[in-house]
Amino acid sequence: MTARAQAIERLDALVSIETPTGDAAGLAAAQRLVREWLDPVVGEPGTIETVDGVDHLLWSGGPAPSVLLLGHLDTVFPKGTTVDRPFRLEGDTATGPGVFDMKAGIVIMAAALARVANPGEVAVLLTSDEEVGSLTSRALIEREAARTGTVLVLEPSLDGALKIARRGGSIYRVELTGRAAHAGLEPWKGRSALTELAHHVLALPDLADDERGTTVSPTVARAGTVTNVIPEHAEVRVDVRAWTLDELERVDAEMQRLDPHTDGVSVEVIGGINRPPMEESSSAELLACARLVAGRLGHAEVEAVSAGGASDGNFTAAVGARTLDGLGPRGAGAHADHEWVSVDSMVERIDLLTGMLDELAAARVH
């Protein structure tokens, strides 16, 4: 079977197993499938690392692995999505839920490992909760990254470009509590959490800094119960992104001291910094390696970009591990119905990743 045919067959199989975050049965089925690919290649069975009831899949790479390959099996799409939008292939374009983010990256990872000189010396970690902030897998990711010191992340590329820096992110829930009252009989006795919510939704974006690339975005809001009751409770979710840890800390300090605008309404801020920034310095050596290998293969020069979104690569860079992200294929539409990948680019990435793994292993020996 050709590399292209195998990539299509495996991508079809993996996309057809639905793996929304929190779906233990779907994630377990996907883990079993990937173990069928990797266990014979690596020479040892993958192990399940369970953290707070969530299972993550790990191959240790032995006592001193040369590199950690990092990815996630969970997707953002609810169960049943494949009924209306199953895996499809038209020419070079493959579509289906999770095909780009990031099941194609896992297929690339498995194919490359089957071709390297010493697959048993490569650690592999596939987590199950990346799409919701890696709340249970973060410590595991940091542990394995610190152990290997070098991490290649198979998240999607940005139109073929590798990701050498990522903004960090913070997640907050602002809870507002007032006092309920009948909206027709005695509204003056109430203290509206919804009115307080409106003040914060309008004010929070002012904490952003356009020049530094810092964004503060209210994203989800809830308030009230029925039409004729002054809302006692309300909440707003807030997404913060920044290129530097200093900026995340500045916004965090402002968030933690939010004051109420409405007498009789209390404000509670829950959350904080979730992912530190992945700064460009962490990727420099690995980008040079990628460009060296691409040159040997006769590929076009590898391009590099800074990406606004965060990934688990933010965690690995923060513990001091060399980290290169975006080694997945070309495509687009992550988290959207039009998600797609280029199969030809998957084959190219298999070649590139194989060469990088062998190059990194050889460099460590010398």
pLDDT tier at 365 (50, 70, 90 boundaries)?
Answer: low
In the structure, what pLDDT confidence band is assigned to residue 362 with cuts at 50, 70 and 90?
confident
Domain coordinates in residue numbering, the chain? 3-167+277-365, 168-275
Interacting residues of 9 by C-beta distance below 8 A, sequence separation 6+: 1
The answer to whether residues 43 and 64 touch, using CB atoms and an 8 Å cutoff, is no
What is the average per-residue pLDDT within 155-176? Answer: 95
Q: What is the CATH number of domain 168-275?
A: 3.30.70.360
| pLDDT higher than threshold 80 for residue 276 | yes
For residues 221 and 128, give the distance between their C-alpha atoms in angstroms, rounded to a whole number. Answer: 27
Q: Which two tokens stand for residue 84?
A: 């209306």
Q: In 135-199, which ranges are E strands?
A: 150-153, 162-166, 168-177
Residue with tokens 């139109």: 159
**pLDDT for residue 366 is more than 60:** no
104-113 vs 343-365: helix crossing angle, rounded to 10: 50
Q: What is the mean pLDDT of residues 201-210?
A: 97
The band of 22, judged by pLDDT with boundaries at 50, 70 and 90, is very high
Residues paired with residue 322 on neighbouring β-strands, in sequence order? 150
Report d(CA 245, CA 226) in Å as an integer: 42
**Residue 298 CA to chain centroid, in angstroms?**
31
**Amino acid code (one letter) for 29:** A
pLDDT value at residue 212: 95
Q: Above 80 in pLDDT, residue 364? A: no
Spatial distance between the Cα atoms of 74 and 126, rounded to a whole number of angstroms: 9
pLDDT at 202 over 60: yes
Compute the mean pLDDT over every residue in the chain, rounded to the nearest whole number.
96
**For the segment 75-93, what is each residue's pLDDT rounded down to a tens digit?**
999 999 999 999 999 999 9
- Reduced to 3 states, what is the DSSP secondary structure of residue 111? helix
Cα 341 to Cα 160: distance, rounded to the nearest angstrom: 11
Q: How confident is the model at residue 146 (pLDDT cuts 50, 70, 90)?
A: very high
Least confident residue range of 73-77, 101-105, 279-283: 279-283
Angstrom distance (rounded) from CA 156 to CA 284: 19
Give the whole-angstrom CA distance, residue 329 versus residue 160: 7
pLDDT at 56: 98
Residues 6 or more apart in contact with residue 225 via CB below 8 angstroms: 231
Q: Note the pLDDT of residue 187.
A: 95
The correct CATH number of 3-167+277-365 out of 3.30.9.90, 1.10.460.10, 3.40.630.10, 3.30.565.10 is: 3.40.630.10
- Span 234-245, average pLDDT: 96
Under 8 Å CB-to-CB from 144, ≥6 apart: which residues?
A: 58, 68, 70, 123, 125
Pick from 63, 37, 40, 54: nearest CA to 123: 63
* Cβ neighbours around 181 below 10 Å, total: 18
98 near 131, Cβ under 8 Å? no
- CA triplet 318, 164, 206: central angle to 5 degrees? 75
Q: CA-CA distance, 2 to 84, in Å (whole number)?
A: 30
